[in-house]
Amino acid sequence: MNEIFELLKNNLQLIYILILVIFIGIEVIKHIPAVLHTPLMSGANALSGVVIVGAILVMLNSDPDDYIALGLGFMAVVLGIINVVGGFAVTNRMLQMFKKNKN
Amino acid sequence: MILNVLYLLATITFIFGLKLLGHPETAKKGNLIAASGMALAIVATLIFNEHEVSKKVYTLIGIAIVVGVVIGWVIAIRVKMTKMPELVSLFNGFGGASAALIGVVEFSHTGDNTLQMITIISAIVIGSLTFSGSMIAWAKLNGMMWKDIRLPKYNLINNIIFIGLIVFGAYIVWSQTESIFVVYILLSTALIYGVLFVIPIGGADMPVVISLLNALTGIAAAITGVLYGNMVMMVGGILVGSAGLILTFAMCEGMNRSLVNVIFGQFGETETEGAEGSAAALKGTYKSATVSDVAILMNYSQQVIIVPGYGLAVAQAQHAIHELEQILENKGIKVKYAIHPVAGRMPGHMNVLLAETNVEYDKLVEMDDVNPEFPNTDVVFVVGANDVVNPAAHNDPSSPIYGMPILDVENAKQIIVNKRSMKPGYAGIENELFYNQKTSMLFGDAKSVIQGLITELKGM
C-alpha cells in the first residue's frame, strides 16, 4: 500500500496532466457527425502512430552493437511510420472525396 | 530545451487538428495540421537528440523511415475505398506492434523504477493484443475467415486469460525480475488473447471492435509516452484513446449493447439460442420479384429510399446505385439513402463508400431523421443490409438484437430486398421482414441486379 502512495506522490504532476488531457480529448471529439466517423477514426489512427517517436528514441539510445535492440527498434520504426504516413494519406484521400460532393 | 518547445508545438497541432477534423468544412485542414505536427515531432526527435549517436544508427533509422514511408504511401494511394475497414485495422495493428516492440527493448534497459516497469509491461500487453486482434479483424474483413470461430466455453477461456494477463503482468512488476524470457511469455499470451478476443466476434459487431482496437493503440502510445516522459506521445495517445472510446460507445449505442456485453461476448451465446428459436418460428412464405417488376414499381413511385449495407460494399455496387439514383431523380422521383449508424463494418462506412461515387451529402439521411419518412415512402430498396432492418429488434424479446434501434422500413408501402439467397445474414439471425406481405425479394448479385434496373428504367 505504501508503495502505491509513494508512486502517486512521485508522479503527481503526471497524473494531473493525464486527467486533464483525457477531458480535453473527450471535449474536442464530442458531437462529431456520423459522416465524419470514418475520417476521424483513420485520422486518429494515424495520430496513434506517434509511437514512432518512442521507436526512434529506442534506436537512438541503443548501443550500436546491440543488434537485438537495433533490430526490434528498426521494426518498430518501420511499422510506426507506415501507420503515420499511410493513415494521414488515406484520411486526406477520403476527405477530398467529401469535399468534391459539396460543390 | 528547444526539443521540448517543438514537442509543445506538435502537441498543440494534434489537439487543434483533431478539433478541426470534427467538422465537415474544416476536416481536411485538420488532418493536414495534425500530419505536419507529426512530421515536426519526428524530425525534432531526430535532430535535437542529446546522446552521442553513431552514424550507423542514424543510417539505420533513415532506412527504416524511408522504407516505412514508401510502404505506407503506396498502400494509402492504391487501396480501394471499399477496403477502408481492412486498411484501418491493418495500420492500427502496426501501431500496436510498434508499441509492444518498444516495450520489449526497454524492458532490458530499465532498472527497478516501478512506474517505468508498469508502463513497459502495459505497453507490451496492450500493444501485442491490439496487434494480433487487428490482424484477425483484418483477415476477417478481407474474407479470409468467413466463419466466426467459437471454441467451446470461449467466453470463460478468454476471461481467464484476460485475468491471467493482469495477474502475470503485476507479478513481473512486483518481482522485479530481469528475465526477458518471462516477458516473451507475457507477450505471447497477450498475442493469443488478441486472437481469441476477435475470433468469435460477428461481422455486425465489427464497427465496435475496430473502434475499440483503435482506442487501445492510442492508449498503448500514451503509455509509452509516460515511459519516456514524452508529452507529445502522451497527449497524442490519449487523444486517440478518447476518440476511439467515444466512437466505440457511439457504436454500442447504435446496437443497444453495452461495451462489456461486446467484450465479454454474451452476444455469441444468446445468438445461438435466438437463431434457433426464430428459425423455427419463421417458416412463412416469401414473394420474389423480377428486375422488371421492381423497375416498374420504382418508375411509378414518388419517393424511393435506399438502405445500403455491407453487401453493397462487397458487391462493389456503389457506383451502380448512384447511377440508379440519378436516373430516378431525372424522372422526378425523390431518392434518399437511409444510413444506420452501424451499417457496414466500421463507423461511417456507408458514408465513405457513397461519398466515393459523389452522392450528394444531403441525400444521406441518418436513422432518426429518416425513420419518420418511411410511411410516406413508396418503395424502400434494401441492398446488402439485413440486421439493421430486422423488425425482431422491436418485437422479439428472444432475439439477440432485441432493443437495437433499426430503420423502420416495414412502415413503407413496398419493400424490395436485394439478397443473394434466403440465407440469414452475417450475424446468422433470421429476418421476418422478408416474410412481410409488403416485401418482395429480388435475388441476385447487387451490382448486376442494380445494373439490370438501370437498363429497364432507361427504356421506360
Could you give the angle at the alpha carbon of A53 between the alpha carbons of A51 and A57, nearest 5°?
A: 115
- How many CB contacts within 8 angstroms connect chain A with chain B? 346
CB contact under 8 A, A82 and B75: yes
> Per DSSP, what are the bridge partners of residue B287?
B440
Q: Which of residues 35-74 of A touch B (CB under 8 A)?
A: 35-62, 64, 68-70, 72-74
What residue has cell string 477534423? B21
Catalytic residue numbers of B read 387
| Distance from C-alpha of B126 to C-alpha of B216, rounded to nearest angstrom | 7
Instruction: Measure in Å the smallest separation between the Cα of B35 and chain A Cα atoms.
Output: 6
Q: Does A26 touch chain B (CB under 8 A)?
A: yes
Mutation pick from A18, A37, A50 vs chain B, by most beta carbons of B within 10 Å, is: A50
Chain B residues with CB inside 8 Å of A34's CB? 339, 341, 347-348, 351, 366
Say what the pLDDT of residue B412 is.
92
Say what the pLDDT of residue A99 is.
62
What kind of fold does domain B284-458 have according to CATH? Rossmann fold (3.40.50)
Measured N-to-C along each axis, helices B84-109 and A51-61 cross at an angle, to the nearest 10 degrees, of 30
| Distance from C-alpha of A83 to C-alpha of B73, rounded to nearest angstrom | 10
Query: Phi/psi at B380 (nearest 5 deg)?
Result: -105, 130
Q: Does B235 touch chain A (CB under 8 A)?
A: yes
Say what the pLDDT of residue B179 is.
83
Mutation pick from A48, A72, A77, A82 vs chain B, by most beta carbons of B within 10 Å, is: A48
Say what the pLDDT of residue B416 is.
92
Please name which of B432, B399, B409 lies closest in space to residue B256, comparing C-alpha atoms: B399
Say what the pLDDT of residue B202 is.
73
Q: What is the pLDDT of residues A46-64, one digit of tens each?
A: 999 999 999 999 999 888 8
Instruction: Measure in Å the smallest separation between the Cα of A81 and chain B Cα atoms.
Output: 5
| Distance from C-alpha of B116 to C-alpha of B226, rounded to nearest angstrom | 8
Please name which of B155, B79, B330 lies closest in space to residue A90, comparing C-alpha atoms: B79
Say what the pLDDT of residue B265 is.
60
Say what the pLDDT of residue B52 is.
78
pLDDT of residue A103 exceeding 60, the answer is no
Please name which of B286, B304, B261 lies closest in space to residue B431, comparing C-alpha atoms: B286
Distance of CA B315 to CAs B57, B309, B360, B412, Å? 48, 11, 21, 25
Q: Does A15 touch chain B (CB under 8 A)?
A: no
Say what the pLDDT of residue B424 is.
62
pLDDT of residue A18 exceeding 60, the answer is yes
Chain A residues with CB inside 8 Å of B94's CB? 49, 79-80, 82-83
Give the nearest partner residue to A33 out of B24, B57, B226, using CB atoms: B24
Instruction: Measure in Å the smallest separation between the Cα of A65 and chain B Cα atoms.
Output: 10
Q: In what order do the strands lie in the sheet with B379-383?
A: B287-288, B439-443, B414-419, B379-383, B303-308, B334-339, B364-366
Say what the pLDDT of residue A72 is.
93
For chain B, give every domain's residue range.
1-78, 80-264, 284-458
Instruction: Measure in Å the smallest separation between the Cα of A12 and chain B Cα atoms.
Output: 12
Say what the pLDDT of residue B334 is.
92
Say what the pLDDT of residue B15 is.
92
Tell me the three cell numbers of residue A10.
512521485
Say what the pLDDT of residue A62 is.
86
Q: Within chain B, which residues score under 70 in pLDDT?
A: 111-112, 145-152, 265-284, 423-428
Report ipTM (2 d.p.): 0.91
Distance of CA B343 to CAs B138, B316, B406, Å? 18, 15, 10
Q: Which residue has the higher pLDDT, B311 or A78?
A: A78
Tell me the three cell numbers of residue B253.
449505442
